[in-house]
Amino acid sequence: MEKEKVLEVKDLTVKIGEKNVLSSINMTAYKGRVLGIIGESGSGKTMLCHAIMQSLPSLAQITQGQVLYRQEDLMAMSASKLRAYRGRHLSMIMQNPATAFDSIQTIEKHFLETLKAHFVMTKKEMRQIAIDTMYKVNLPNVEQLLHYYPFQLSGGMLQRVMIALSLAIQSTLYIADEPTTALDTVNQKQVLTLFDRICSETGAAIILVTHDLGVIAELADDVAVMYKGEIIEQANVFDFFDAPQHPYTKKLLQSRITF
Amino acid sequence: MTLLEVKNIEKYYSQRQFIFRRKHEIPIIQKVSFSLREGECLGIVGQSGSGKSTLGRIILGVERPTNGEVLFQGVNLYEATSKDKKMVRRDLQAVFQNSYDSFNPKQTIFEILEEPLLNFEHYSKIERQHKVMELLDCVELANTIAQKYPAQLSGGQQQRINIARALALNPKLIVLDEAISSLDMILQKHILQLLQTLQKERKLAYIFISHDLQATHFMSDRILVMQHGQLMEEIQKGQTCQHPVSQELYNAILPSHPRGRNKIRY
Amino acid sequence: MSQVKKLSHVNYKKSFSLTILGIIGLLGIFAPLLMPHDPFAVDITRKFLAPSWEYPLGTDHLGRCVFSRILLGIRYSLGSALLIQMIAIILAIFLGAFVALKRGMIDFLFIRICDILLAFPTLVLAFGLLGLLGPSLKNVLIALIFTQLIYYSRMIRSLFIGMNEKEFIQAARISGTTGVGLIVRHYFPNVLPIIVTIVALDVGKVILEIAGFSFIGLGVQAPIPEWGMMVNEGKQYIRQHPELMLYPGLAIVLVVLLFNRLASSLKNFE
């Protein structure tokens, strides 16, 4: 089966001052597949996410390379087009869902705002979409939940609301930066299962950044290992677990705790 | 010998809804009892909100339970004389999840590690320095770290300093509340092994509180499963879990290899 | 210790205001040596002289050297403001810490009393006190220390209570630290930057209040060359000799501005 490229990162280098935060990153995310990026804290995983979203902190500068979304260079885009793309096609799922929401607005309001920015539709239609997508991500009592404020929901529920928001605007690329780190194991499993379903049902590409090998083993199709700002190994998930190449990867695999 | 005995602990948070309405009592922990032998590692697992952290704080003596008693070496933590309390403090230590938050940002590592010694031992300055270096050795950190501030250390180093502080007074029991959850994988394994070595060397007892059944299982001799503030099941090492709540936690364990997935796409 | 080091480890803005304030302070301390004339010596024959080498800022309506009076005035304006702040904050730290650690009934009563007193504007409260005690420099100090104390002790109490929930305070308790140890090692170093900033910011306010009292005649009494008093004395001659109000007025503006600048640069650190 021919794999369709959704996002391609070519030779991307990001510097803060003189220091390379990311050096010549090359990677590709394919339609309907999960690209897992694993690395320890400080390895530049989060920086990579921000570089893809073109939302780097002002100190960091992209010195070379390209970020191509379906053959279009995100770096060459005008600010307004980029903004439209960012919400519409690329969505970012962050580690801490509590800070990603505006705590004085209800969940419903978040849906309305997001949908209004990208589609022309009536309030009633928007509400229906909100209910549908929230239902899809297995949230209970959806109608009631719409009137809740973010702080009234648990971390796991909020993360699912966040995914529902991306689902509502039919994103084609999800960039999930440690989406389950702040959750307990039961919620983590639910969120990962949800990602898996989104991937196979909507054919979206998912870039999943994590420090947990278990998450990779559960969900990823391809794996890239980041270490000190570089991708030191890239492989299919089975090859990665069966025949690790780099010494760091081997050490990582040895750190697994078996039940 | 029994080290810790928890008898019928109950904890309610009362919430006054306006001035006129009656007080509302929210149960956090209901009728929890268990005991711990010397040198044993007891795991407590549960989802977030199951009351396991509150239980940990009650055991530590920093949060008074509504009912019930905690006996540490026969001393009731919440009715002890200040002399007894001081003795308990020596033998009962803790390591929390958020390593950075548990340090005073204005203290150097040396000052942090020195603090328990100042409170309990009548050491001279040189003896204290000696002891601090010993503690740093114990958690495999370089001596030079002593002059740094917590913010200058990595998460793994910080957590090791937390463990060193807990070890400073040669305690009998350390409560580890999500102590490794915020660390990277390699470090997690490393810290777990470090804790196990220390346990053997010093005959320590642990209470290992976590939402991660896998890590808890790795550490513990016995596991208590909690939900909604109640104990649901006690699992001995090597036994399989029966209760649906434990089953759920068991099912949430992620595979160690992609072949262990429930279903495989492509 | 480290805190003090950090404070003196300065950025540009801070070092600028600190240096000038330091110079002004030194001028105040060594005023008796630097004054060209006795600031109290009255010589009617030499009144309203224009600035000259002998009288750098001229003389006032009683023929006293304005320059000498402004120099000596540093002691009364800046000096008493600093004194007020120091005494008020030290008392407030003890009071606030005591209440914050005791909690319970004492805390409740303390808060109610503070609330009642704070319901009055500071100036009105100080007016009331001064009315009771009678106008004099000593009573101005007492009145202002009292009003600042209410405000600061309440602030320190809330800062301390806000810290109670911090994890490192609990960690320290578990390490066996109690009472005074907790305050000295943990609470205090962490609230110190906030305290220093607010105290510095309020020095300007207090200088203005002292000057204000003198100006309306409730504070420092006549021959003392407090700046507010000098402005008050100059106001009769505002048409003929506005500079008599201008010089002390500018001195007040300069010192208040420098303190505000210092405080805002302190706020930026951390």
C172/chain B closest Cα distance in angstroms: 8
Residue of C nearest to B167 (CA): C175
Assess if residue C248 is contained within a domain: yes
Neighbours of chain C (3+ CB pairs under 8 A): B
Q: Contacts of residue C193 in chain B, CB cutoff 8 Å? A: none
Alpha helix locations (H) across A72-205?
79-88, 97-100, 107-118, 123-136, 142-145, 155-168, 185-202
A186 and B252 within 8 Å at the Cβ level: the answer is yes
Consecutive H or E run containing A206: strand A205-210
What residues of A are in the B interface, CB distance below 8 Å? 40-42, 154-156, 183-189, 192, 196, 199-200, 211-215, 217-218, 220-221, 237-238, 241, 251-252, 254-259
Q: Looking at the complex, does the CB of residue B209 fall below 8 Å from at least one CB of chain A?
A: no
Residues B172-218 pLDDT 10s? 999 999 888 878 888 888 889 989 998 998 889 999 999 888 889 88
Give the span between the Cα atoms of A150 and A153, in whole angstroms: 6
Residue of B nearest to C171 (CA): B102
Q: Shortest CB distance from C176 goes to which of B103, B119, B162?
A: B119
Mutate to test the interface with B, among C4, C5, C175, C187 (most CBs of B within 10 A): C175
Consecutive H or E run containing A227: strand A222-227
Residues A158-210 pLDDT 10s? 888 988 888 888 888 999 988 888 788 888 888 898 888 888 888 889 999 99
CB-based contacts of B197, cutoff 8 Å, min separation 6: none
Q: Contacts of residue B196 in chain A, CB cutoff 8 Å? A: none
Q: What angle do CA B9, B10, B13 make, to 5 degrees?
A: 145
Q: What is the extent of the structural domain holding C126?
A: 2-35+73-268
Residues C50-109 pLDDT 10s? 777 777 777 777 778 888 888 888 888 888 899 999 999 999 999 998 888 887 788 889
The pLDDT value recorded for residue A167 is: 86
C174 and B93 within 8 Å at the Cβ level: the answer is yes
Assess if residue C65 is contained within a domain: no
Selected residue with higher pLDDT from A258 and A232: A232
Q: Looking at the complex, does the CB of residue C173 fall below 8 Å from at least one CB of chain B?
A: yes
Nearest to B43 by CA among B214, B179, B252, B219: B219
pLDDT mean across residues, chain A: 87
Q: Shortest CB distance from C175 goes to which of B101, B105, B165?
A: B165
Assess if residue B259 is contained within a domain: no
Give the span between the Cα atoms of A227 and A248, in whole angstroms: 8
The pLDDT value recorded for residue C268 is: 60
Domain of B209, CATH number, reads 3.40.50.300
Assess if residue B84 is contained within a domain: yes
CB-based contacts of A48, cutoff 8 Å, min separation 6: A9, A12, A22, A25, A37, A209, A226
The pLDDT value recorded for residue C11 is: 64
Give the span between the Cα atoms of A197 and A174, in whole angstroms: 13
Give the span between the Cα atoms of B53 and B177, in whole angstroms: 7
Contact A175, A93 (CB under 8 A): yes
Do the two chains C and A touch, given a threshold of 8 Å on CB pairs and at least 3 pairs? no
Selected residue with higher pLDDT from B243 and C38: B243
Q: Shortest CB distance from B119 goes to which of C170, C175, C190?
A: C175
Residue of B nearest to A238 (CA): B258
Contact A159, A183 (CB under 8 A): yes
Choose from A80-89, A138-147, B30-39 the range with maximum mean pLDDT: B30-39
Number of C-beta neighbours around residue B244 at 10 A: 11
Number of C-beta neighbours around residue C8 at 10 A: 10
Q: Shortest CB distance from C189 goes to which of B60, B106, B168?
A: B106
Q: Please provide the DSSP assignment of C106-145 as one string.
A: HHHHHHHHHHHHHTS-HHHHHHHHHHHH-SSHHHHHHHHH
Statement: residue B265 has pLDDT above 50: no
B80/chain C closest Cα distance in angstroms: 15
Assess if residue A171 is contained within a domain: yes
Consecutive H or E run containing A49: helix A45-53
Assess if residue A208 is contained within a domain: yes
Do the two chains B and A touch, given a threshold of 8 Å on CB pairs and at least 3 pairs? yes
B22/chain C closest Cα distance in angstroms: 22
B104 and C175 within 8 Å at the Cβ level: the answer is no
Assess if residue A97 is contained within a domain: yes
pLDDT band at B17 (very low <50, low <70, confident <90, very high): low
Mean pLDDT, rounded, for C1-8: 44
Nearest to B44 by CA among B252, B34, B197: B34
Give the span between the Cα atoms of C128 and C134, in whole angstroms: 10
Q: What is the extent of the structural domain holding A122?
A: 31-44+78-254
Neighbours of chain A (3+ CB pairs under 8 A): B
Q: How many domains does chain B have?
A: 1
C14/chain B closest Cα distance in angstroms: 21
The pLDDT value recorded for residue C198 is: 87
Report CA dihedral (C68, C72, C78, C84) to the nearest 10 degrees: -160
> Which residues on adjacent β-strands are paired with residue C59?
C65
Give the span between the Cα atoms of C249 and C230, in whole angstroms: 9
Q: What angle do CA C15, C20, C21 make, to 5 degrees?
A: 95
Three-state SS at C215: helix
CB-based contacts of A37, cutoff 8 Å, min separation 6: A27, A45, A48, A207, A208, A209, A210, A223, A224, A225, A226
Cα-based distances in Å from A253 to A16, A243, A247 = 31, 10, 10
Assess if residue B263 is contained within a domain: no
Q: Contacts of residue C5 in chain B, CB cutoff 8 Å? A: none
> Which residues on adjacent β-strands are paired with residue A19?
A16
B48 and A155 within 8 Å at the Cβ level: the answer is yes
CB-based contacts of C162, cutoff 8 Å, min separation 6: none
B4 φψ region: left (φ > 0), alpha (ψ -120 to 50), beta (else): beta
Domain of A161, CATH number, reads 3.40.50.300
The pLDDT value recorded for residue B266 is: 42
Mean pLDDT, rounded, for C157-168: 87
Percent of chain A with pLDDT over 90: 12
Residue of C nearest to B97 (CA): C167
Residues A79-123 pLDDT 10s? 888 888 887 888 888 888 878 888 889 999 999 988 888 888 888
Three-state SS at C154: helix
Domain of C149, CATH number, reads 1.10.3720.10
The pLDDT value recorded for residue C88 is: 94
Statement: residue C4 has pLDDT above 60: no
B165/chain C closest Cα distance in angstroms: 8
Give the span between the Cα atoms of B241 and B186, in whole angstroms: 28
CB-based contacts of C85, cutoff 8 Å, min separation 6: C148, C199, C202, C203, C206
User: What global pTM score does this model have?
Assistant: 0.79
Give the span between the Cα atoms of C238 and C245, in whole angstroms: 7
Statement: residue A55 has pLDDT above 80: yes
Give the span between the Cα atoms of A144 and A157, in whole angstroms: 13
Residue of A nearest to B97 (CA): A182
Q: Shortest CB distance from A217 goes to which of B154, B192, B258?
A: B258
The pLDDT value recorded for residue C5 is: 44
Q: Contacts of residue B170 in chain C, CB cutoff 8 Å? A: none
The ipTM (two decimal places) reads: 0.82
Q: Please provide the DSSP assignment of chain B as one string.
A: -EEEEEEEEEEEEEEE-TTTSPEEEEEEEEEEEEEEETT-EEEEE--TTSSHHHHHHHHHTSS--SEEEEEETTEETTT--HHHHHHHHHHEEEE-S-TGGGS-TTS-HHHHHHHHHHHH----HHHHHHHHHHHHHHTT--GGGGGS-GGGS-HHHHHHHHHHHHHTT--SEEEEESTTTTS-HHHHHHHHHHHHHHHHHHT-EEEEEES-HHHHHHH-SEEEEEETTEEEEEEETTPPP-SHHHHHHHHTSPPSSGGGSSS---
Q: Contacts of residue C176 in chain B, CB cutoff 8 Å? A: 86, 89-90, 116, 119-120, 169
Do the two chains C and B touch, given a threshold of 8 Å on CB pairs and at least 3 pairs? yes
Q: What is the extent of the structural domain holding B172?
A: 2-252
Report CA dihedral (B164, B168, B171, B176) to the nearest 10 degrees: -20
Percent of chain C with pLDDT over 90: 9
Statement: residue B108 has pLDDT above 90: yes
Q: Contacts of residue B189 in chain A, CB cutoff 8 Å? A: 254-257
Q: How many domains does chain C have?
A: 1
Residues C76-92 pLDDT 10s? 888 889 999 999 999 99
